[in-house]
Amino acid sequence: MKVIRTIVDLRTEIKHARSQDKNISLVPTMGYLHAGHAALVSAATKKSDFVCVSIFVNRLQFNSNKDFETYPKSEASDIEICKQAGAALVFIPSHEEMYALDPAIELSMPALSVNLCGPVRPGHFEGVLLIVARLFNLFQPDLAFFGKKDYQQYRIIERLVRDLNFPLEVVGCETVREPDGLAMSSRNANLKPEHREQAALIFRSFKILLKAFENGIVDPVELVEIAQDVIVSGPDNRVEYLQIVHPESLELLTVIEGPFVVAAAVFCGEVRLIDNVLIEV
């Protein structure tokens, strides 16, 4: 496995892989990797023969300097996880390497960012779209793998690929969870011990919502209230949003007539966590 840090070297490696007719996949990450990321890399190895991982903490998608500065990092561990999971190449650029000049272009997707994280994280998805489009241009992958824990991001990137005709397939991978249901996230490392147990209430609330739905409660407002009550039973939990949306358009549902996604952002103490589940009807 090669670790490279410059765009010049990256382009050399990609050109060499293409000359050998290798199928290229990309797993974009911000580092501090865990089993969820390893699962993405492993999934990529089953569908391609040249798996690339990018590790770059993209400051353009952070809403606050504090959040950016406290984002956990573990480069040596990240490299080892990539190696063990079967990656062929890891790209770890500096901010200056990726943004030699401040970007003059802006990308946005208003229709898909009007709900969920969009209103509470202004500028976030614009930053995501810019870095992902840049990575797609640099790697020119055949496949790109994203976790569905960041469901809104996954759908937005899917639409980016369609709208700009990137010649690649976006592969969404299911959320990897801890034994108690907490979605694996790099931010979990920042949870204080007393908040860790309360964080598991997020997934528990989804299961209770599903049970209520199966028992005949179909009003989205009532279902949201049921789930929210479960989450805030943790005294240090604060719900930023909890919404039921259409799985493709991400529009808020007032009536449930088919599959739906229940998604939440919750502050467990000072740590913001997101999670979701897709419920088939």
Name the active-site residue from 37, 95, 124, 195.
Answer: 37
Report helix, strand or coil for 269: coil
- Do 268 and 237 form a contact (C-beta atoms < 8 A)? yes
Instruction: Report residue 69 CA to chain centroid gap.
Output: 19
Question: H or E segment at 148?
Answer: none
Annotated catalytic residue 37: yes
Which residues does residue 46 pair with via DSSP β-bridges, in sequence order? none
* Direct distance between the N- and C-terminal alpha carbons of the chain, in angstroms, rounded to an integer: 44
Which residues does residue 4 pair with via DSSP β-bridges, in sequence order? 91
Report helix, strand or coil for 146: strand
Q: Maximum CA pair distance of the chain?
A: 58
| Residues acting as catalytic residues | 37
